Amino acid sequence: MKKINCLIFLFSLVFFGCKKDIPEPDSNSVNPPPVFTELLCSGNYDFPEIEGWKLNSKALSGAFYSNGSEAYFVNEKLGFIFYSVNSILFKTEDGGDSWKEIAGEWDYFRLRGFSFIDENIGFIYGWQNSTELGNVQKIYKTKNGGDTWDEIEFSLEKTFSNLNMINEMKGYVSSSYIIESQNRVVYQLFRTRNGGVDWTMVKDSLNSRIFFFGENYIRASGSEGKVFISNDGGDTWDSRVDEFFVTNKLDFIDENIGFASFFDIELKVTNTGGKEWRTLIKPEGSIRDFQFWSEMEGFVILRKKQSFVIDENNDCFSILYTSDGGNTWTESHQVINLRLEDIHVFNNGKTAMTLYKPDNIYLPTKMIKLEKE
């Protein structure tokens, strides 16, 4: 009987957990960071409803399962999913209502990322296994919105990551190497001016692995608290040191206003191009992703540990939304056993998309579409 009572108690905690209110900001401080203290899921919802947003949740048509599917959206209509288990690229032109398979040299291809200039011109890069050469880095380019892809023969022999094309001709990649005498990893930044064929090093010994690239400006950060700033496309650099500033993501909406996740435990903002930062939110959980489309409006995907559950598959996920620059936040229902992925925002903040994946790898991935009411 005691065992049954304990099970009922745990069941009620998981499915009927306490409702949590986000605290009001202190009127005597400027933009105080809200602190979330309740770690238990408030419900076993299969979609994260959020006030002020209309939600459309549906299973994606096609063989998109939790294990090995990566998504990228160019806009609210055009998107791609690469299913690495079977090396298949899919495309949607109607916001995920239907998908078609895209032919290409995808056998044994392992996706690293997409970089689109507009709805027609884009790049895809990753590793491809060859029986003769082993793992080979590949870059493919499309000029027709992803219907066909051509391989780019490039000169860079370094192992690279973070392909970011600013326009059809200019783009950047980063490469790392180890200084054994100092037992640390440093990065090099390379630039192309002819569409990815030739690459020139523009910065060596960057202690950074996270980059953001604008039309003519670059922001970079990594370990040891350094923030690297370039306002001329990488020709000259300034660096600032903040011993507490180590970020896992950078995102700027212009050369002055930007956001960064600090160790995934707090979200920071700058309006000085990265020279000074302040905290927007410091939740008791980890920041899975974030996306701002103005200085005032943005989303944060939050992952929370349940205090009494050891298995990480039972973590809670939710979406936070702010419309006043982080002074106040609205939190969605929390979901359990479903992993929310990166969030994409389009149409001047009126439409947002994200995928969520069941912990059971054989269940289909679903797409969430949020539209501002």
pLDDT score of 253: 92
Instruction: State pTM to two decimals.
Output: 0.77
- Of the ranges 16-25, 145-154, 218-227, 337-346, the best mean pLDDT one: 145-154
DSSP 321-368: EESSTTSS-EEPPPEESEEEEEEEEEGGGTEEEEEEEESSTTSBPEEE
Task: Point out the least confidently predicted range of 135-139, 223-227, 281-285.
Answer: 223-227
Task: Point out the least confidently predicted range of 21-25, 156-160, 177-181.
Answer: 21-25
pLDDT score of 60: 52
Asked if the model's pLDDT at residue 312 lies above 60, the reply is no
Antiparallel, parallel or unpaired: β 278-281 and 184-192: unpaired
Contact 187, 228 (CB under 8 A): no
From CA 224, how far away is CA 227, in angstroms rounded? 9
In the structure, what pLDDT confidence band is assigned to residue 13 with cuts at 50, 70 and 90? very low
Q: Across residues 108-136, what is the average pLDDT?
A: 87
Antiparallel, parallel or unpaired: β 351-358 and 338-346: antiparallel
Q: Across residues 275-293, what is the average pLDDT?
A: 87
Task: Point out the least confidently predicted range of 109-113, 241-245, 276-280.
Answer: 241-245
Cβ neighbour number for residue 150 with a 10 Å cutoff: 12
SS (HEC) of 286-331: EEEEEEECCCCCEEEEEEECCCCCCCHHHCEEEEEEECCCCCCCEE
From CA 91, how far away is CA 120, in angstroms rounded? 13
From CA 274, how far away is CA 266, in angstroms rounded? 16
Fold that domain 2-372 belongs to in CATH: Methylamine Dehydrogenase; Chain H (2.130.10)
pLDDT score of 63: 46
Q: Across residues 257-274, what is the average pLDDT?
A: 88
pLDDT score of 363: 62
Asked if the model's pLDDT at residue 108 lies above 60, the reply is yes
Domains of the chain, by residue range, sit at 2-372
Q: Across residues 289-298, what is the average pLDDT?
A: 92
